[in-house]
Structure 1
Amino acid sequence: MSVFALGLNHTTAPLDLRGKLAFGPEQLTPALRGFRERLQRSMPEAALVSTCNRTELYVAADPKAVHELVRPAVDWLAEQGGVSGSQLQTFTYVREDRDAARHAFRVASGLDSMVLGEPQILGQMKQAVRQADEAGTLGTTLHQLFQRSFSVAKEVRTATEIGAHSISMAAAAVRLASQLFEDLKDIRVLFVGAGEMIELVATHFAARTPKGMAIANRTLERGEHLAGRFGGEALRLADLPQRLHEFDAVVSCTASSLPIIGLGAVERALKARRNRPMFMVDLAVPRDIEPEVAQLRDVYLYTVDDLSTLVQSAGEKRQAAVEQAEAIIDAGVLSFAHWLDQRAAVPLIQALNRQAEDWRAIEMQRARKMLARGESVDAVLEALTRGLTHKMLHGTLAELHAADGDEREQLATTVSRLFLRQSSRHPNGEGR
């Protein structure tokens, strides 16, 4: 089997294009089934990793077919986002076999993230594996690729300081808010959504003890649960437009496919605030906050991509840890490549076993007939072993006789290595 990874991320594609190609957790399984149906003849293995920073399709198939699958995969992915295949190709990358493994291992280890060493991606990749398994598209090769990526990521985290003192998106948001407001204890913060990222950001803000915190979520019960952890208030998402003016800082990260905070709502909030500034962070892909909001005079709106410079500055200080991590990844890639090579020989091994079993069955049947005719055991054994030996060597000897020149020399070397090995054991089975 061969593997390729087709994807786009925060370094190759703009935020809005990534938003068009983002898959929510509930979309992964049906999307993978649709991809498999599109390429029914090839029956490839497939998995989708989709986060705010990347969308990647991992595919494993027969080596003869895998190169023919790249273009259909690009077209299929383009259709999901409502863009043309040629447009998408400009922003995507394709990694094959060893390079695909290296890429997956770097992603799992946090080396390809906007926040160097961030741990969230590992959970997102594990979710991708679960969804592919549910869709019936995982398969042995991709299962091995991802399990090895998880092992490599674990070793990177335990053997290096790649994740130490990293500035996460959450910490970066708090730092930016601190630059706008004199004291975060004097502000009220609204969090829109109740997922893992919002929980992280709320934890960082809570450490600065703001005047008030509130969680607005589509499911009120989940919002109440998270708000209760921070002594905050829970709001219904439907109440957001009427309450927006009460908050100095707004951090949003939902799985909505359309913006949930529009330009008009923010304009009305600013008017009610008498133009006191609002700090807004949109961590969602696709966007939660309409991009036109950034043009308003008293709004300071930051997206995921806007935070990249701040979080990357911390990454540069850990170059030594990165080099250590890359060495661990190199070893993992070699191990996976060796496994792939071994897998490539499996059909041949199976064919050889079937052929040997056929020969054995033929000679056993012949031996039973000889015994039934009353021939001696020695004569039957002689015929049995001669028959098996002849069948085993016939094809090899025929190839040797037919070959000439360099071909015969190479074939002779291979035959000698296969058939003329010195036994390391005595005939009685005891080691020397």
Structure 2
Amino acid sequence: MTRSPATPLPPPGERRRLREAGSLTRAQLAERVGVRPGTVHAWESGRGAPRGRRREAYARLLAGLAEEAAGAGACGSVSGRQGETPAVVTVRLDTPGGDGRPGTAVPDSSAFTQAPPPAAASRAACPTPARAFDTLYSFCAPALVRQAYLLTGRRDLARESVERAFQLAWDRWPEVARDPDPAGWVRAAAHEWALSPWHRFRRRHRRSGPPPPDADDRALLEALLHLPPPYRRTLLLHDGVGLGLPETAAETEASTRAAAGRLTYARTTVAARLPELSDPRELRRRLAGAAPTGRPGAAEPPVVRGGSERRARFWTRAAVAFTVALIGTTALALRTAPARYEPPVPPGETVRGVPPRVAPGPLSEDERELRARLREELPRGPERLAPQAR
């Protein structure tokens, strides 16, 4: 009796990639294999190794996911033009409430992974860039609105931040489609727009929005808004979204040590105001349950794409109009400018020391005699002098 050879097991980094490509969360994969989500996390990080029947089941599941990923890769390669953008976009959404419903708790050490249907359904026809963008928007927008709301406390600014982030993503869609984590790309853009200091000069965003109806959510939001923006974002990314400390530091453009210091300070400050949130797990659960009042989602994907295209057309026409005006002004200046240099006329100066002009006075007796004699000699002409020879 011979034993069949064991199914090969890929390295730890490849295990996580295959799970994400197959649109599975750690909790879903753990349920299929029959282990806990923390065990799957240990297998993917290399801190543990599966054994026995669980290893065989885990290896077969990863092999099936690898076949589906290989089939999905046949849709085409990425090109720099928008028309050749890859059709399949895997959306990794490590966000609180990633399923689009408010108040979903985040399990410990787990990541919510949302993606389009498996690759087997996309082998028949590759979706267009617009469909891929709409899929990314549909899965990411609700959670990003909640995150922006926790960062700003303003419902309108949260929706605006998400819409502007996706409009920027549509403008740079070839770059976003090639990104290993397109959801992270959009998340970083939305957080940066939401925390921009220029919003304080806008009249519509000077006033805070309506507070959450729940007293616990109001207290949590006040505690978060009491933190400085960098500390608030670090706490949300690490404890709310579930990113690791290096990933949080990279997204906030800080060193790992600085991110750790911000996280410690933020947790201490929140725990001082809300002692029941001193446990990170309870804080993570509360961050996942907090949601803005009113309509949680942003606009529809076609509206966002249309707004991005309208803005692009507006700025293009504005640039063309400015260029035409500049060319016209330059041509008019060349046409009316003098051909040679003409020095400017200096302004007049006051001459000092000149005696004032006075009217002539009466003539004396000698002057009258001289005048009479001159008048008599003028008709005959002056006397001529003739030289004499000696």
When normalised by structure 2's length, the TM-score is 0.27
Structure number with higher strand proportion: 1
Q: Which protein shows a greater Rg? A: 2
When normalised by structure 1's length, the TM-score is 0.25
